[in-house]
Amino acid sequence: MTDLTDLGVAAIRAGVANGDFSATEVAGAFNTAVADAQPALNAFITLTPDKALEAAAAVDADRAAGKALGKMAGVPIGMKDLFATTGTKTTAASQILGNFVPPYESTVSQKLWDAGAGMLGKLNLDQFAMGSSNETSAFGNVISPWRREGDTAQLAPGGSSGGSSAAVSARIAPAATGTDTGGSIRQPAAFTGISGIKPTYGRCSRWGIVAFASSLDQAGPMARDVRDCAIMLEAMAGFDPKDSTSLDLPVPEWEANLNADLRGKKVGIPREYRMDGMDADVARAWDEGIAWLKDAGAEIVDINLAHTKYALPAYYIIAPAEASSNLARYDGVRYGLRDLPQGAGLQDMYAATRAAGFGAEVKRRILMGTYVLSAGFYDAYYTQAQKVRTLISRDFMDAFQTVDVILAPTAPTAAFGLGEMVSDPLAMYLNDVFAVPASLAGLPAMSVPAGLDRQGLPLGLQLIGRPFDEQGVLDAGLAIEARAGFTARPAKWW
């Protein structure tokens, strides 16, 4: 029998449905793999092997009873610890929610359980999803399963969905949820050689997801391949009346409609993404991607996204501004950490609680956000950034008059080493440079593995689509996947 942990979503679902193996066997195999890897990778904050087994038993029982099985039946997954899960700690990788157990389940996680998925555990992440390396977690760094050739230095799994990317690439979870505010699905997917898609803003309900920046936050799947992403996204998406920004549209059959034949399609190559001093391997991967899409039948068109260079500064105004307000609720009054020094009043309690409960990066962003919203600065920063955001959206809409999908690198480099960037927040923020424009415009965007760099580390290519056209993004991703032949996986050193 094959090693069950080598299987992805589609294969597990088919095997369980066919009776090749039981969901319980699958859950058991992954539970073992998780427990085995946890000390080395620290991908999880909370392990929930019983939840995985419980869900698996229910699927096995349903199958035995001849009942119809859900889209994710028998697939145990990792849940980013930003999604509220009833009765299971939901920490956002912070001290302030370090012991928080929600009495409610996020819409997206509930949909996954309803589709037959089970929960292996709550995945580590950058604190409140703020970070690009998973080094801001209050529960320790996630260690990437990847290593540079001939080197044992610890690498970043990307962020903020670093627990998710590490778990999927290490084959200790067939798939995981992620959230993407400015690249937090795509960049870690690229760093670890897996696929991940951020759907159109509003496709997945934000209800029950700890908020970072409300106008940008989107949930999405991270998995081994494009098909697995399509399956899982179908299970996660859908209108939710509890989220005012949720899209009231039916969920398309992305999986059934997957089609790697791109004849008649036009792919845009944005000039502005080809920056001076671009990493040679990244440039080469991009060129290969262009060739593969051409091979798939697409016509390649050069496009302008003129305001690209303003995207990163605009993002680092808007996201912290929203975060500074969204995180105000963590005040020690009703739930979460409370630090009440002897004789302290309300203001002292706020100060002590928030000083102890938030990490340095979270504090930095609250400070930035508070600053840009302050009287006298609001127009110069926030209003200006919103104008830039509008211009960036317009650039994309203009481009989509001509092209169907845009191809660009996901990140400017392959994975960097842990500790290499932490002392330089600006350099760290630059990692999001290719990811944030699509976030600001609310567009569906995906990262797929393209190959390895000269050090043997994965590189990702990004596909950006029209609003609501996840299908176009998935199809182009599938075309690349078919030609890249990416089979590399990290050697098991843990």
Partner 1 sequence: MTGYRIQGATGEWEVVVGLEVHAQISTQAKLFSGAATAFGAEPNTQVSLVDAAMPGMLPVPNMECIRQAVRTGIAINAQINKWSRFDRKNYFYADLPQGYQISQLYHPIVGEGSLEVQLDDKDPESTKTIGIERIHVEQDAGKLMHDQHPTMSYVDLNRSGVALMEIVSRPDLRSPVEAGAYLAKLRTILRYVGSCDGNMDQGSMRADVNVSVRKPGEPFGTRTETKNVNSVRFVMAVVEQEAKRQVALIEDGGTIVQETRLYDPDRNETRSMRSKEDAHDYRYFPDPDLLPIVLDDAFVEECRASLPELPDAKRHRYETALGLSPYNAGVLTAEVETSRWFEALLAQSATQQGKPEGEVAKQAANWLTSELFGALNKLGKGLLESPVSPEAGGELLALIGKGTISGSAAKQVLEIMLETGNTPGAIVEREGLTQTSDTGAIKAAVDAVLAANADKVEQYKGGKEALFGFFVGQTMKAMQGKGNPGLVNEVLKAKLG
Q: Which is nearer to partner 1, 183 or 320 (CB)?
A: 320
Minimum Å distance from CB 242 to partner 1? 6
Helix ranges, 374-424 (H): 378, 384-402
The one catalytic residue among 184, 195, 205, 246: 184
Residue 390 touches partner 1, criterion: CB under 8 A: no
Cβ nearer to partner 1, comparing 214 with 393: 214
CA atoms within 13 A on the CB side of 177: 36
The residues in 23-82 that bind partner 1, with binding defined as CB under 8 A, are none
Of the residues 132, 160, 246, 439, which is catalytic? 160
Catalytic site includes residue 160: yes
In the complex, least distance from residue 360 CB atom to partner 1, rounded to whole angstroms: 21
Question: Could you tell me if 95 and 138 are in contact, meaning their C-beta atoms sit under 8 angstroms apart?
Answer: yes
> What is the SS3 assignment for 162?
helix
Q: What tokens appear for 14 in the block?
A: 């088919």
Scan for tokens 């009054």, then name that residue. 333
Closest CA to 363 of 324, 410, 322: 324
Question: From CA 337, how far away is CA 473, in angstroms rounded?
Answer: 42
Residues 87-106 that bind partner 1 (CB under 8 A): 90, 92, 97, 100, 102-104, 106
- Torsion on CA atoms 75, 76, 81, 86, rounded to nearest 10: 90
Smallest distance, partner 1 to C-beta of residue 48, A? 19
d(CA 211, CA 192): 25
Q: Which stretch binds partner 1 (CB under 8 A): 55-63, 276-284, 346-354, 388-396?
A: 346-354
User: How far is residue 438's CA from residue 396's CA, in Å, rounded to a whole number?
Assistant: 9
Q: How many residues bind partner 1 (CB under 8 A)?
A: 44
Residues 232-251 vs partner 1: string with x where CB under 8 A?
---------xxxxx------
What residues have CB less than 8 Å from 179, skipping those under 6 apart? 80, 82, 129, 160, 161, 185, 209, 212, 217, 218, 219, 220
DSSP, collapsed to helix, strand or coil, labels residue 289 as helix
Taking residues 422 to 461 in sequence order and writing x for each that binds partner 1 by CB under 8 A, - otherwise, the string is ----------------------------------------
Which one, 18 or 244, has the nearer CB to partner 1?
244
215 binds partner 1 (CB under 8 A): yes
Footprint on residues 149-208 left by partner 1 (CB under 8 A) = 206-208
Residue 82 CA: distances (Å) to CA of 138, 186, 276, 446: 13, 17, 36, 20
Q: Cα–Cα distances in Å, from 123 out to 164, 177, 384?
A: 6, 9, 36
**Of the residues 14, 64, 283, 328, which one makes contact with partner 1 according to CB under 8 A:** 328
Is residue 356 a contact residue for partner 1 (CB under 8 A)?
A: no
What's 67's DSSP letter?
P
Please, what is the minimum distance in Å from the beta carbon of residue 196 to partner 1? Answer: 21
Quick one: which of 4, 9, 321, 435 contacts partner 1 (CB under 8 A)?
Answer: 321
Stretch that binds partner 1, among 157-165, 213-221, 412-420, 440-448 (CB under 8 A): 213-221
Catalytic residues: 80, 160, 184
Residues within the interface to partner 1 (CB under 8 A): 83-84, 90, 92, 97, 100, 102-104, 106, 206-211, 213-215, 241-245, 321-322, 324-325, 327-329, 331, 333-335, 346-347, 350, 370, 373-375, 378, 382
